[in-house]
Amino acid sequence: MTFTRDFDETSRGMDELKIVLFVCNWGPHAALQTLQDQDRDIPHQVRMIRIPCTGRISKTLLFKAFERGADGVALIGCTPGTCRYGAGTYTAERNVEGARGILDLLGLGKDRLRLATFLPEEASPLLDFLNDFTDQVRGMGKSPVTPVPLKQPAHDGRRNTAEVLKAHDVYACQDCGKCSSACPMALSGRPYSPRAIANSIIAGSGNTPAVVNDVWSCLTCGICYDRCPSAVDFPAFIREMRCVQKASGKSGHEAHEGFFQSLMRAMTSPDLRTQHWKCLPEGIRTDQQSKTLFFGGCAPYFDEFFRRHLDVHTSDILADSLRLLNFFDVTPALLPGERCCGHDLLWSGDRENFLRLARLNVEAIEKMGIEEVVTACPECYRSFARDYPENGVPVNFRVTHIFDLAEKEIDKGAVGFEALDRSLTFQDPCRLSRMEGRADLPRKLIDRLRVKGFREMQDRGVSALCCGNCAWTGCDGYTKALQVKRLRQARATGSDLLVTACPKCQIHLRCAMEDPLLGKEIGMDLMDLTSVIARTIRWE
């Protein structure tokens, strides 16, 4: 189920509340039907959507209602124990809890979403609930989320395809096959070839289902570009082709039903005031007058979304980054209402909304008089340092990855590390190690640690395997095979701690460890390098 159009603004005033009511077709719909048969005064702000079971409405579908303009959403199901699917109501409870957490981080207010259950004979209690919920949403006011208009395909994309081919000099491809022989997707068993994709698009077959599917399956990890003797930037070519395909109405598989793309589009609303900094641990010092700003990224949303089945704690990276900055006597400012950097929108073909986020971020940061932005996320770093300027959004401040800052400060001396009784290996993030050419940087820091041992995996540095997913697109069985291969490489080093440098590497590798058959074989502890440094560093 997807929301394919905005609320009808012609029949309702722009200031009118919009409340979506997902109603289970089993018990509560009978109660609602009774209200309609009796011509009871149901709040006119409510729009009903009949569903087969509340358990079918995922966190993504709940959130998409808000992205498309809802001011409140109620999920109405069967009383626990009466669900005809057995566990539908319990699944709904978990999904509502997760979605409420996301709404809270976004600053919308978790009380805009409620779950309620009714029996068929409970028509009057249902009406009481609807009136109460409408009053509650009215008290919270209109949602600050401005729906992004859905556009109709403007053209077939052929002209723009020619421009993209020319801009990235794809005609220089020598068809040597070095890209395909190094591609992690091809090596994971998928019938996949970057050069074949390039040749098909050059030949005018870019709109065939197979080529469209391959364009969206690319990891954009950059190893093909590293191997290409003609320096064809295949990841950038794929990124542009996704923009072309999206403009012509084609899009690939978005993981988690497109939740994260939906979240990022919601963040383009100028009036949104996010709240994801309010959960910082005590003892962290910040100063809103500082000329240095720490940009955290979307880790708090990741933790909330995956809390139930992956138990990730990527927000620890943000807290440990701030502790590390404080250790170096840097008391940074935080951006009130910080939004996503937009990396995943750009790399999933939505440049228009990427630019909206970029402009909002840069405008807010420059308004604070910030001279330097520090970030621990490789995708945020690349977006600010490279993708914003290259897409026409210049930045008038320095962009620094926290590894650079830490290496510079540690190199001044008088700093040591507590012993850590762990053996380490390291997972390179594609955006920092290969695409920014900084594979040496994390290794300099690892060399400074006092650990039991450090061993590299078989594929490492600029040749490292991707964690298996990028921009929340194309997740499938082949990406899972790639993740399993990477974890086996990590286990083969004999290490007991896999150190990463990107929150998404943690998420994707932890996801593979959930395999009920392979979990014990490939499972190992994961920790971000920033956290390892922040928790062991000390003054000599």
Type and span of the H or E element at 236? helix 234-247
Indicate the average pLDDT of the chain.
93
The CA angle 328-329-330, to the nearest 5 degrees, is: 95
Mean pLDDT, range 302-316, rounded to an integer = 90
Dihedral pair phi/psi, residue 218, rounded to 5°: -60, 140
pLDDT band at 78 (very low <50, low <70, confident <90, very high): confident
What pLDDT score does 105 carry?
A: 97
Per the listing, tokens 């009136």 go with 131
| Residue 237, pLDDT above cutoff 80 | yes
Type and span of the H or E element at 529? helix 529-536
* Numbered ranges of CATH 3.40.50.1860 in the chain: 409-539
Domain 161-248 has CATH 2.40.37.10: no
* Numbered ranges of CATH 1.10.1060.10 in the chain: 161-248
pLDDT tens digit sequence for 258-307: 999 999 999 999 999 999 898 899 999 999 999 999 999 999 999 999 98
Range scoring the smallest mean pLDDT among 192-201, 227-236, 242-251, 438-447: 242-251
pLDDT tens digit sequence for 165-216: 999 999 999 999 999 999 999 999 999 999 999 999 999 998 899 999 999 9
Cα distance between residue 528 and residue 343, in whole Å: 20
| Residue 115, pLDDT above cutoff 80 | yes
Per the listing, tokens 């990124």 go with 239
Which CATH architecture describes the domain 409-539? 3-Layer(aba) Sandwich (3.40)
What pLDDT score does 156 carry?
A: 57
Number of neighbouring beta carbons within 10 Å of residue 316 = 20
Mean pLDDT, range 446-461, rounded to an integer = 97
pLDDT tens digit sequence for 488-505: 999 999 999 999 999 999
What pLDDT score does 11 carry?
A: 45
DSSP calls for 50-103: EES-GGG--HHHHHHHHHTT-SEEEEEEPPTT--TTSSHHHHHHHHHHHHHHHH
pLDDT band at 6 (very low <50, low <70, confident <90, very high): very low
- Max distance between CA atoms of the chain, in angstroms, equals 80
- Percentage of residues of the chain with pLDDT beyond 70: 95
Cα distance between residue 474 and residue 212, in whole Å: 12
DSSP calls for 323-339: HHHHHTT---EE-TT--
What end-to-end distance do the CA atoms of the chain give, in Å? 59
pLDDT band at 460 (very low <50, low <70, confident <90, very high): very high
What pLDDT score does 406 carry?
A: 98
pLDDT band at 142 (very low <50, low <70, confident <90, very high): very high
Class of domain 19-140: alpha beta
Write the single-letter amino acid at 444: K
The residue that leads in pLDDT, 97 or 152, is 97
What pLDDT score does 4 carry?
A: 38
What pLDDT score does 269 carry?
A: 97
What pLDDT score does 2 carry?
A: 39
| Residue 402, pLDDT above cutoff 70 | yes
pLDDT band at 27 (very low <50, low <70, confident <90, very high): confident
What pLDDT score does 1 carry?
A: 42
pLDDT tens digit sequence for 347-388: 999 999 999 999 999 999 999 999 999 999 999 999 999 999
pLDDT band at 453 (very low <50, low <70, confident <90, very high): very high
Cα distance between residue 179 and residue 172, in whole Å: 13
pLDDT band at 3 (very low <50, low <70, confident <90, very high): very low
Cα distance between residue 302 and residue 519, in whole Å: 22
Give the closest residue to 436 by CA, choosing from 497, 348, 353, 375.
375
Q: Which residues contact 285 (CB under 8 A, 6 or more apart)?
A: 322, 326, 331
pLDDT band at 15 (very low <50, low <70, confident <90, very high): low
What pLDDT score does 84 carry?
A: 73
